[in-house]
């Protein structure tokens, strides 16, 4: 028996390493299922027993520590039902969580922490609240995934710090308005993944969402349209919209700050500005008037670059934005600005002549440089989509590389800080599985599966070591053309945001798809506990069919993005069940026939049924 299982282990392990996601049985793993994977983990024997007498002790006289203690206490109550009191204490206490904030772990940076769990207590050390907060997230992932009062926490030593400083998620609230409650929930989900930057896309052609006191029409008019749904790019007719007051925006900033998330607001310019131009048509080239849009897509109406009033307006807006958002960086958009209107606008053409610009592309560069002066005067850095590279940038400009990684490479070579968010890996409005198995998403041609998202490497090998230091992080983007409910945001963002979070946090040499897939099985249970509406697409079966037309046979292979899946299939047209044939490796069939397959776990179907006809060739 022993020998047999040892042999099975070896062969499984070999197959498994060749084909991650293929259906083979367990290798034992002792490292706890923490996502993102910590930098250094040493599992130890024994465990800490959490019980009704357990306490939380925090460093005396440290408000951040007290707040974190209270946060841990609340989280433990949610997960165990126990009320664990928080007190301040300098001396080691038995049967306690000890949160020590202060010197001792400085070399790990402000987001780093050290965590030791043994049978006496749980010691969390960090130099700043950021690190202690992340240590708490790790502690919560050491707990069972379902509510249990008396619980054991496995003994472990963890030393952890992030690979990148910007670990972001963007939500497009311009095309679609999302409630404050949902944004808070999203920030909670980000924080649990140790993500630290929420990029708040606040203005779009289809809606302006932030109250600007000097320009009330931006939200009185620009925040509304007579439609709730754009379906396949068309309107269907009922009023929709909404905006965030400055008080609400400040409330969200504070909420995020308590979770060590910085909000980077985005005000789009010169393009993606139709909503603003409907409200203030005098800022456009033609003077308007314009109607609310009835289709998605890139719009031709953009801010007039020849009109001084445009820059006065943007300066006023930026001043109000800066007063709300204390972060060091503001996003100025800069993408997808068609030059049609500038070409036919006398004011823009006059500007080109007077400034000795070559063409409308240099006018865009002029525009960015004018706005840059506003940011500099406000003592803020700005970030823009990679189009802002065209024409040269000020030294403090950051670049968000979205049209692949080329913009990021160029920016890093010019010594600009870069955030990698290439559409073909990190756009979370793209499908995450076969389009026929998924809710409507933006394009059919680029499917960003969980595995594909996970395997993106943000530091391009063509950069020198010095250049690579300008790659500051990663970000997933949730554009909302086809995402109109919080539930769908959750579905599209998770679990893929977990893959991005791990790339942003975990040392490169600790990143490994099959181990991530293993830990995700536990992460899904955490999502269930939180009632997060994540996609189960990773369980769906991908079928590869290799036909031999001479022999009229076909070889079938199955794969999923889940860990060691139990795939079952039928060839008789029936729905697969727990009793159907178990897939153990490639098999041959005689076409024509219909194959239906699905993944099962603990007697339950996990994803959807995939069906594919295998035809005679």
Nearest CA to 370 out of 417, 464, 420, 306 is that of 306
Q: Given the complex with ligand ACM, which of 336 and 514 has the nearer CB atom? A: 336
Residue 98: name its binding partner from ligand ACM, Zn ion, none (Cβ under 5 to 8 Å by kind): none
Residue 419 region by backbone torsions, left for phi larger than 0, else alpha for psi between -120 and 50, else beta? beta
From 14-22, 154-162, 171-179, 339-347, span contacting Zn ion (CB under 5 A): 339-347
From Zn ion, ligand ACM, none, interface partner of 347 (C-beta below 5 to 8 A by class):
Zn ion
Cα separation of the two ends of the chain:
46
CB of 477 to ligand ACM, least distance (A): 7
CB of 164 to ligand ACM, least distance (A): 20
The smaller minimum CB distance to ligand ACM, of residues 123 and 389, is found at: 389
Binder of residue 321, out of ligand ACM, Zn ion, none (CB less than 5 to 8 A by kind): none
DSSP alpha helix (H) spans, 325-428: 340-343, 346-354, 360-377, 406-413, 423-426
Supply angle C-alpha 521, 524, 525, rounded to 5.
95
77 closest CA partner among 89, 85, 88:
85
Pick one of ligand ACM, Zn ion, none as the site partner of residue 348 (Cβ within 5 to 8 A by kind): Zn ion
Residue 336 binds what, of ligand ACM, Zn ion, none (CB under 5 to 8 Å, by partner type)?
ligand ACM
Cα–Cα–Cα angle for 590, 594, 598, rounded to 5 degrees: 115
Report in angstroms how near the CB of residue 336 gets to ligand ACM at its nearest. 5
Nearer to Zn ion, 348 or 412 (CB): 348
**Residue 327 neighbours by CB distance under 10 Å:** 18
The entry of Zn ion, ligand ACM, none near residue 161 (CB within 5 to 8 angstroms by kind) is none
DSSP string across 415-455: T-EEEE--HHHHBTTS-SS-GGGS---S-SS----HHHHHT
Q: How far is CA 116 from CA 136, 370, 556, in A?
A: 12, 52, 48
**Distance of closest approach, residue 335 Cβ to ligand ACM, in angstroms:** 4
Smallest distance, ligand ACM to C-beta of residue 432, A: 18
Q: Residue 564: helix, strand or coil by DSSP?
A: coil
Nearer to ligand ACM, 335 or 515 (CB): 335
> In 3-state terms, what secondary structure has residue 554?
strand
Enumerate the β-bridge partners of residue 385: 400
- Residue 200 · residue 261 · CB < 8 Å: no
Contact of residue 177 among Zn ion, ligand ACM, none (CB under 5-8 Å per partner type): none
Residue from 345, 441, 497, 614 in contact with Zn ion (CB under 5 A): 345
298-327 binders of Zn ion (CB under 5 A): 304, 306
Comparing CB distances to ligand ACM, the nearer of 424 and 571 is 424
In angstroms, the CA 35 to CA 137 distance is 9
Q: How far is the CB of 269 from ligand ACM (least distance, A)?
A: 13
Q: Which does 306 bind (CB under 5 to 8 A by kind): ligand ACM, Zn ion, none?
A: Zn ion
Binding partner of 335, given ligand ACM, Zn ion, none, CB within 5-8 angstroms per partner class: ligand ACM
Sequence-distant (6+) residues with CB within 8 A of 276 are: 203, 208, 218, 222, 283, 303
Least gap, CB of 443 to ligand ACM (angstroms)? 12
Give the residue from 179, 243, 176 showing the smallest Cα distance to 206.
176
* Interactions with Zn ion, residue window 26-45 (CB under 5 A): none
Q: Name the minimum Å distance from CB 270 to ligand ACM.
A: 13
Shortest distance, position 307 Cβ to Zn ion, whole Å: 6
Q: Does 271 bind Zn ion (CB under 5 A)?
A: no
Task: Work out the widest C-alpha separation in the chain, in whole angstroms.
Answer: 87
Q: What angle in degrees, to the nearest 10, is found between the helix axes of 486-493 and 180-192?
A: 20
State in angstroms the smallest separation of the CB of 193 from ligand ACM. Answer: 22
Q: What residue 241 binds from Zn ion, ligand ACM, none (CB within 5 to 8 A, per partner kind)?
A: none
CB of 399 to ligand ACM, least distance (A): 12
Closer Cβ to ligand ACM, 55 or 199, answer by number: 199
Length of the chain: 617
Quick one: tokens of 131?
């690190």
β-strand pairing of 166-172 with 471-478:
parallel
Residue labelled with tokens 């320009």: 215
Q: Are 485 and 492 in contact (CB under 8 A)?
A: no
> How many positions of this chain bind Zn ion (CB under 5 A)?
6
Nearer of residues 204 and 438 to ligand ACM, judged by Cβ: 204
Q: Which of 186, 191, 285, 500 touches Zn ion by CB under 5 A?
A: 285
Closer to ligand ACM by Cβ: residue 16 or 385? 385
Residues that bind ligand ACM (CB under 6 A): 335-336, 385, 402
Q: Tell me how far apart the alpha carbons of residues 558 and 585 are, in angstroms, rounded to a whole number.
A: 8
- Is residue 167 a contact partner of residue 195, using CB atoms and an 8 Å limit? yes
Least distance between ligand ACM and beta carbon 531 (Å): 30
The SS3 assignment for 560 reads coil
Min separation Cβ 272 and ligand ACM, Å: 8
Reported as half-sphere exposure (CB side, CA atoms, 13 A), residue 235 has a value of 13
* Tokens at 46, concatenated: 């024994």
Between 86 and 273, whose beta carbon lies closer to Zn ion?
A: 273
Shorter beta-carbon distance to Zn ion: residue 264 or 345: 345
Q: Which is nearer to Zn ion, 350 or 444 (CB)?
A: 350
**Interface with Zn ion (CB under 5 A), residue from 148, 250, 319, 347:** 347
Distance CA 69, CA 315 (A): 42
Nearer to ligand ACM, 336 or 410 (CB): 336
Binding site for Zn ion (CB under 5 A): 285, 304, 306, 345, 347-348
């Amino acid at each position: 028996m022993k020998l047999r299982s040892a042999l099975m282990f070896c062969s499984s392990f070999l197959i498994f390493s060749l084909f991650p996601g293929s259906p083979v049985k367990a290798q034992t793993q002792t490292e706890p299922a923490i996502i993102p994977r910590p930098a250094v983990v040493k599992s130890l024997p024994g465990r800490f027993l959490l019980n009704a007498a357990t306490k939380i002790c925090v460093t005396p006289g440290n408000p951040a520590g007290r707040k974190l203690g209270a946060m841990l206490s609340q989280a433990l109550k949610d997960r165990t039902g126990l009320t664990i009191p928080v007190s301040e204490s300098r001396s080691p206490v038995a049967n306690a969580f000890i949160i020590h904030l202060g010197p001792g772990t400085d070399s790990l940076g402000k987001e780093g922490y050290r965590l030791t769990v043994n049978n006496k207590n749980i010691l969390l050390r960090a130099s700043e609240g950021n690190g202690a907060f992340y240590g708490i997230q790790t502690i919560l992932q050491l707990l069972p995934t379902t509510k249990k009062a008396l619980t054991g926490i496995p003994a472990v030593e963890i030393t952890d710090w992030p690979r990148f400083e910007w670990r972001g998620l963007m939500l497009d609230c311009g095309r679609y308005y999302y409630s404050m409650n949902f944004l808070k929930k999203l920030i909670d989900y980000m924080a649990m993944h140790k993500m630290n930057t929420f990029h708040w896309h606040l203005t779009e052609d289809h809606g302006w969402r932030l109250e600007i006191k000097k320009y009330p029409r931006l939200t009185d008019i620009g925040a509304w349209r007579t439609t709730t749904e754009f379906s396949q790019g068309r309107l269907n007719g009922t009023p929709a919209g909404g905006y965030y007051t400055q008080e609400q925006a400040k409330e969200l900033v504070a909420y995020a700050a308590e979770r060590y998330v910085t909000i980077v607001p985005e005000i789009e310019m010169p393009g993606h500005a139709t909503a603003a131009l409907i409200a203030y048509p005098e800022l456009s080239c033609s003077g308007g008037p314009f109607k609310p849009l009835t289709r998605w897509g890139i719009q031709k109406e953009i801010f007039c670059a020849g009109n001084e009033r445009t820059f006065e307006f943007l300066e006023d807006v930026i001043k109000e934005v800066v007063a709300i958002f204390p972060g060091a960086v503001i996003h100025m958009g800069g993408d997808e600005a068609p030059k049609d209107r500038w070409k036919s606008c006398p004011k823009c053409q006059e500007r080109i002549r007077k400034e000795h610009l070559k063409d409308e592309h240099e006018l865009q560069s002029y525009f960015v440089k004018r706005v840059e002066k506003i940011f500099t005067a406000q003592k803020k850095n700005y970030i823009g989509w990679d189009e802002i590279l065209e024409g040269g940038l000020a030294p403090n400009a950051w670049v968000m590389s979205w049209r692949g990684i080329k913009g990021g490479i160029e920016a890093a070579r010019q010594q600009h800080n870069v955030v990698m968010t290439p559409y073909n890996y990190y756009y979370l409005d793209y499908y995450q599985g076969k389009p026929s198995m998924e809710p409507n998403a933006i394009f059919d041609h680029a499917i960003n599966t969980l595995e594909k998202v996970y395997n993106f490497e943000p530091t391009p090998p063509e950069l020198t070591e010095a250049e690579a230091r300008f790659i500051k992080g990663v970000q997933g983007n949730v554009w909302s053309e086809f995402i109109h409910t919080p539930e769908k945001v959750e579905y599209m963002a998770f679990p893929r945001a977990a893959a991005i979070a791990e790339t942003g946090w975990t040392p490169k040499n600790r990143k490994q798809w099959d181990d991530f897939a293993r830990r995700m099985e536990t992460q899904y249970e955490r999502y269930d506990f939180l009632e997060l509406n994540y996609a189960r697409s990773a369980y769906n079966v991908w079928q590869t069919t290799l036909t031999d037309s001479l022999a009229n046979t076909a070889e079938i292979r199955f794969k999923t993005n889940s860990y060691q899946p139990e795939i079952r299939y039928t060839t008789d047209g029936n729905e697969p069940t727990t009793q159907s044939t178990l897939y153990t490796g490639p098999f041959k069939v005689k076409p024509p026939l219909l194959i239906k397959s699905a993944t099962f776990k603990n007697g339950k179907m996990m994803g959807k049924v995939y069906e594919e006809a295998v035809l005679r060739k």
